[in-house]
Amino acid sequence: MQRSSIFIIITALLLLGSCSRRPSYVLSENKMAEVLYDIQIAQAIYNRSSEFGTNEKKDALVEGVLRKHKVSQAELDSSLLWYSDNIAYYEAINDSVASRLSASNKKMMDKLNKPKGKVRRTDLLIPPFYNLNTVTPTFAFDLDSFRIKKLDLSRFNIRFDVQGLNALQKVEAAVFFTYKDTLIKKIVPLDKNESYTFSKPHLADSLLKGVSGYVHLSDRGYDLPLNISLYNISYIDSLSSNVPVQAQSDLPAPTTNKPSPAAESVKPVEAKPATPAATEQKDRKPTAAEEELNRISRGTR
């Protein structure tokens, strides 16, 4: 009787071990994490780039990742199926990929925030005004967990107005909401002189650890004066006492129809609609005196 009980226990342990043992056709945890990390990067690339506007091009990008790791689509699918049935392994892989993506994002933010030439900083929580140009091309901010605790996050958002853009400039804005177990990225191109708002994701406020972001003006090599104003920069919560500053009336505000794709994960950015007066002003041809004044203005900047 005792021998029979021991035999049953040993058999049960062997069966349990065989159920959780990874089959030979399944990618190892490390290999799986490497492949999924690169696939996440590939997805971010084709979500943000107009060069990958078709499904064929998107598939080709993912196929390039599989070739890099010498893995077939069938092997990846079989591995995903097995790991989905063994959730503990899958969660470990997912945590590893998320941690690596977060570290890569932090490295990128540190690089952007590092003074390059001259990047102006301020002791204010978020400065109300900033000028982007070739000398100070990047506006960056970082609200850490200590500052986040002092905010009422129930209606938190970040907004700013833009003036001075034209079709030859490339400006990108990004806000990163760092939660305890995930990172939400909102990245949009700035291609119009209007208001932009980044709202907080609908996740538990208690899990929010930090909010950081940047607005960056890329140098495209044109020998042109670059002067873009960010004004009325503010965060909104019930404790906020930010006072918006007035727009700089001496800055040009031409519009552009240049298309720029945004990441699919980015929520629509709220923008103030153009008023009829502004539309009429845009459509009206400048007089000879105005053209001469604009020419002189550009020459003195």
pLDDT confidence tier of residue 225, bands split at 50, 70 and 90? low
pLDDT confidence tier of residue 220, bands split at 50, 70 and 90? low
CB atoms within 10 A of CB 235: 19
pLDDT at 293 over 90: no
pLDDT confidence tier of residue 295, bands split at 50, 70 and 90? low
pLDDT average, residue stretch 238-245? 37
pLDDT confidence tier of residue 197, bands split at 50, 70 and 90? very high
What is the per-residue pLDDT across 136-178, written as a single tens digit (0 to 9) for each?
Answer: 889 998 888 888 887 778 778 888 989 888 777 889 999 999 9
In this prediction, residue 187 carries a pLDDT of 93
In this prediction, residue 150 carries a pLDDT of 79
Q: What is the pTM of this model?
A: 0.40
pLDDT at 246 over 70: no
What is the per-residue pLDDT across 103-132, written as a single tens digit (0 to 9) for each?
Answer: 877 776 666 555 544 434 333 457 788 888
Task: Please tell me which residue, 147 or 69, carries the higher pLDDT value.
Answer: 69
pLDDT confidence tier of residue 5, bands split at 50, 70 and 90? low
In this prediction, residue 113 carries a pLDDT of 59
In this prediction, residue 60 carries a pLDDT of 82
In this prediction, residue 289 carries a pLDDT of 52
Average predicted confidence (pLDDT) for the chain: 71
What is the per-residue pLDDT across 89-105, written as a single tens digit (0 to 9) for each?
Answer: 989 998 888 888 888 77
In this prediction, residue 29 carries a pLDDT of 92
